[in-house]
């Protein structure tokens, strides 16, 4: 069951990234001097490369260390009776790098096909 849930979350993240890329490309085309096809192609390829770079950061980065559970609890406080930072250890989750990687590939392919 967790596999289906994580795959659906991945598909939603990819769709959101693709729609955001197209929306921002449309805004860029309306403001810029080039046409939609040229602006959308360049923007999608650049955004896709940025997503691939974000996927390459991986775990153990500065942000990951900053968001350490104990540091975050001290900084944000803790809601009595509810720990929002703790996950169920029996439910595996998809790494953020996988979502960034798949989204980056889809957005680059979208940029090439426009």
Three-state DSSP class for residue 90: coil
Q: Is the pLDDT of residue 72 over 90?
A: no
CA distance 36 to 44: 11
The confidence score (pLDDT) of residue 78 equals 55
Answer for the pair 23, 110: CB distance below 8 angstroms, yes or no.
Answer: no
**Mean pLDDT value across the chain:** 78
Sign of CA dihedral 49, 50, 53, 54: negative
Instruction: Name the pLDDT band for 3 (thresholds 50, 70, 90).
Output: confident
Count CB neighbours of 6 within 10 A. Answer: 16
Answer for the pair 72, 85: CB distance below 8 angstroms, yes or no.
Answer: yes
What average pLDDT score do residues 78-93 get?
58
Q: Is the pLDDT of residue 104 over 70?
A: yes
Whole-prediction pTM value?
Answer: 0.72
């Amino acid at each position: 069951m967790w596999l289906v849930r994580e795959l659906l979350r991945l598909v939603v993240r990819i769709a959101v990234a693709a729609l955001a890329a197209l929306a921002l490309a449309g805004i860029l085309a309306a403001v810029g001097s080039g046409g939609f096809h040229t602006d959308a192609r360049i923007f999608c390829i650049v955004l896709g490369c940025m997503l691939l770079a974000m996927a390459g950061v991986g775990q153990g980065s500065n942000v990951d260390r900053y968001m350490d559970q104990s540091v975050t609890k001290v900084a944000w406080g803790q809601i009595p009776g509810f720990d929002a930072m703790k996950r169920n250890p029996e439910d595996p989750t998809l790494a953020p790098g996988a979502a960034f990687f798949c989204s980056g590939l889809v957005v680059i392919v979208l940029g090439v096909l426009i």
